[in-house]
Amino acid sequence: MKEGEMEKIHLGIIGCGGMGFHHARSLSKMKNVEITGASDVDPEKLKRFTQHYSVKYSFVDYAQLLDIKEIDAVLICLPTFLHYPAVILAARKGKHIFCEKPIAMKIEDAEEMIKVCRENNVKFMIGFVRRFDNFWGKAREVIREGTLGRPVVWHDIRSSTGASSSWYFDEEKGGGPLIDGAVHNYDFGHYTFGKVKRVYAATMTFKKGISAIDTGSAILEYSSGDQHIISWSWGLPQGALGAQLIDIIGPKGALIFPGCFDEAKIPRSIDQTQYGVFLLNLKGEGKEWIKWRKNDMFFDELKHFIDCIVDDKEPCVSGEDGKRALEIGLAVLKSGRTGLPIEINV
């Protein structure tokens, strides 16, 4: 290396679909990172990706990518059911791993992934990107400062046609919205309120010909006394979009999320190119605009992963976080299936 030249982290991308491309955009902006390798079973997608990012090594079989010594770390952007074998092999080959959420489809798989990464002394980070989003960070701050009082109830209702790839709607490959999408909520809930003690859910499927539950509602009770009420659907027909309704209420007031207040009332003094806002409704006429600085959460997430490799520190989102969130998702599905509340004992 020439004097003054920065040592680069060499990355491999496994899975060059939606998230593979999305993450590569962030990585290509980082001076100390090179996208050195890529793998996708679909040769067309692989070609498009490697040409777009001028990637040195490309393979249809990711095992070959993992044999490249020059590659320090990999981003696993495969359909969820394939995270497990890819993480195990990457860890055994000594690569640091960023794995998209959900960690896996089964708890036993998640446990083994955590164990094998530990045994091989590689970093293992799960893509819970909301941890890096100033929007969710500000909501968490408002809750934890006690502005709304405690306990709080967090409502989150959303519905859409759902994800584009068919594996998302397969109960064994993606698990539908209550596993795949809502896993972000389960992680945010754990990060903010702590342990879930009980889950109740009711579920159904609107779409024909799919094996996953595509629509459902759940109540999560935390040991802290806080509650999360979630109702998600990917069951709407093509082109239809439901409303997104999110607020957090407590004994002292309510935090109203964007989309649920009149945006024309946001004061002009707030530069909305730089800041987003929540509406805080306190007692009487106490309305207040709470702003946060907009950020690129995906860039900040991957920067953290790279910094952890460079500085040899542990990522702030761990395999255990991934396992915990999956546990809640599986409990939600089980409660929907059995009609019974599910106690969470871990």
Ligand X SMILES: NC(=O)c1ccc[n+]([C@@H]2O[C@H](COP(=O)([O-])OP(=O)(O)OC[C@H]3O[C@@H](n4cnc5c(N)ncnc54)[C@H](O)[C@@H]3O)[C@@H](O)[C@H]2O)c1
Q: CB nearer to ligand X: give 67 or 288.
A: 67
We find the least distance from the C-beta atom of residue 164 to ligand X, in angstroms, to be: 7
106: its two tokens: 């089964």
Nearer residue to ligand X within complex by CB, 169 or 292: 169
Q: Which residue matches tokens 């702590």? A: 194
Amino acid letter for position 112: E
| Smallest distance, ligand X to C-beta of residue 13, A | 10
- 8 A C-beta contact, residue 79 and residue 174: yes
Name the residue whose CB lies closest to ligand X: 17
| Tokens found for residue 65 | 């990518």
CB of residue 211 vs ligand X: minimum separation in angstroms?
17
CA separation for the pair 259, 114 (Å, rounded): 38
Give the ranges where the chain is alpha helix by DSSP (H): 18-27, 43-52, 62-66, 83-92, 107-119, 134-144, 183-193, 297-310, 319-338
- Nearer CB in complex with ligand X: 132/222: 132
Judged by the rule CB under 6 A, the positions of this chain that interact with ligand X are 14-20, 39-42, 45, 62, 77-80, 82, 100-101, 127, 129, 165, 180
Please enumerate in sequence order all residues whose Cβ is within 8 A of that of 306, keeping only pairs 6 or more positions apart, or say none: 9, 30, 32, 33
Query: Nearest distance from residue 22's CB to ligand X, in Å?
Result: 7
Nearer to ligand X (CB atom), residue 180 or residue 214:
180
Q: Could you tell me the smallest distance in angstroms from the CB atom of residue 68 to ligand X?
A: 15
Cβ closest to ligand X, residue 101 vs residue 138: 101
Q: E strands, 127-244, where? A: 153-159, 196-204, 215-222, 227-233
